[in-house]
A and B are shown apart, each in its own frame.
Chain A
Amino acid sequence: MKLHCFDRKFFHSSPSLTPIQLPSPMETHLWYVIPREVKSESLLNKYLDILSPCEKENVFQMRGEEPRKNALLARALVRTTIARYQINSQVSPRSLRFKKNIHGKPELEWQFSDHGLSPPLHFNISHTSSLVACGVTMNSQIGIDVEEKHRTIKHNILTFARRYFSKDEVQYLAAILDPEVQRQEFVKLWTLKEAYVKALGRGFSGAPFKTFTIRYKGVAGGSFNPLEDLNPEALQMVVDSFDDPIELTSNWQFVLLELVGSHYAAICMENNVDIEGKRTVPVKLTVWKTIPFLEDECVSGTDAVKTVSGLK
């Protein structure tokens, strides 16, 4: 009877969300929203309704209608996405609580202590002015970063790289003669590095960009050209960390995608060391395009998602 009453309450108090099964270990779920497709005022108000007072305040601190809308969509995406996994029947988008770890990384705070340990659900969000994305995993730390493919920077790419990237990465970029290709590789590298730092959860200063190299597996020393060598094994991204010798490179796996033809999306996931054999288990990725409360579409295997590296 309790459940029946709850069902009714749930139906009236918040519009429905399609429930989804939790991702399995080494599986990532990626959800994204395209802001310009969300126009309905009433829908935006529904999103506002599920935010915490603090989140609402942050949304209104943004200058301009578009940035405000994007900030709103980012929080709404996180809340609705996590609520889909119906970890507990009492969970609704509005009831979710978040906290920050000691380095400031947002995490899920599990309130219902009588249900035992919190589910090891991890998430991370990233957005540009034209895309908002949220990645979800079980048992693994995750970091994601999205950037517009055509993003340019004000500074010269190599000047920027010399200031912020590692020597090997500068060398890699400097060897690319075509400026457009160099720019693309720069953007990809930036998203990968951001995703790694966000996965680590230690903040930008916890893993300064200069202290690690992300490279294609096939590179180290050889004359590997990622633009010609299409061997998927060689195209895998790996990270070499200088400061952390204990941080094994095999601890982290990367996936690099092209989303909806307009964005690069990098996902960095912790390798679940509980898996026997310790061999690198390939990441399984499922991608959904969503307008929360309105429609969801699984876009894995469609043109909306093109793998650049990391997936078999």
Chain B
Amino acid sequence: MASATASSVSFTSLSSSLKKNQVSHLKKVSVSFGGKSFKPVPLRFRVACAAKPETVEKVCEIVRKQLALPADSAITGESKFVSLGADSLDTVEIVMGLEEEFEISVEEESAQSITTVQEAADMIEKLKE
């Protein structure tokens, strides 16, 4: 009984610390977006405004899951899939994950040109327009 109590305490503290990390991570993303929208964005997909922070966050989550990266690993819009350790099979699975999450259909030509989180997010926004 004592051990059961102990484990429930540690679980609670773990989940609250996770929540804390999530919040601070989101904050970081919003800040970088605030700055980014005024700078010229050198992307293949030229959109009027940068993708919503929630979209980028969801993409990061899918990438993180696919590549089995720790929850605290730094993934930003600029992160290249290849630099995070993705090979061609991973990249294709990431695109598949994005299709499922956002209920979109990505042509293979477009799929190939996505190399960063930002590019993925921008493409999603464009397809959802």
Residues of A that sit less than 8 Å from B by CB = 61-64, 67, 128-129, 145, 147, 151, 153-155, 160, 163-164, 190, 194, 203-205, 208-210
Contact = CB atoms under 8 A, between A and B. Distances in A.
B108 interface: yes
Contacts, number: 44
9 contacts: A64-B85, A128-B87, A147-B89, A151-B89, A153-B93, A154-B97, A163-B96, A164-B92, A204-B111
Contacts of B30: none
Main secondary structure of the interface of B (DSSP, over half): helix
Contact of B89 (A61, A129, A153, A210): A153
Given A61-B83, A64-B85, A209 B66 contact: no
B112 interface: yes
Interface in B39-59: none
B65 interface: yes
Given A155-B93, A205-B113, 5 more contacts: A61-B80, A61-B83, A62-B83, A153-B89, A205-B109
B88 interface: yes
Interface size class of B (residues with CB under 8 A): 10 to 19
Contacts of A164: 92
A145 B113 CA distance: 20
B29 interface: no
Interface of B: 65-66, 80, 82-85, 87-89, 92-93, 96-97, 108-109, 111-113
Q: Most chain-A CB neighbours within 10 Å: which of B66, B92, B113?
A: B92
Contacts of A190: 89
Contacts of A129: 85
Contacts of B84: 63
Contact of B88 (A63, A194, A208): A194
A129 B67 CA distance: 12
Given A155-B96, A204-B112, A67 B85 contact: yes
Given A61-B80, A164-B92, A190-B89, A204 B108 contact: yes
Contact of A209 (B87, B93, B108, B113): B108
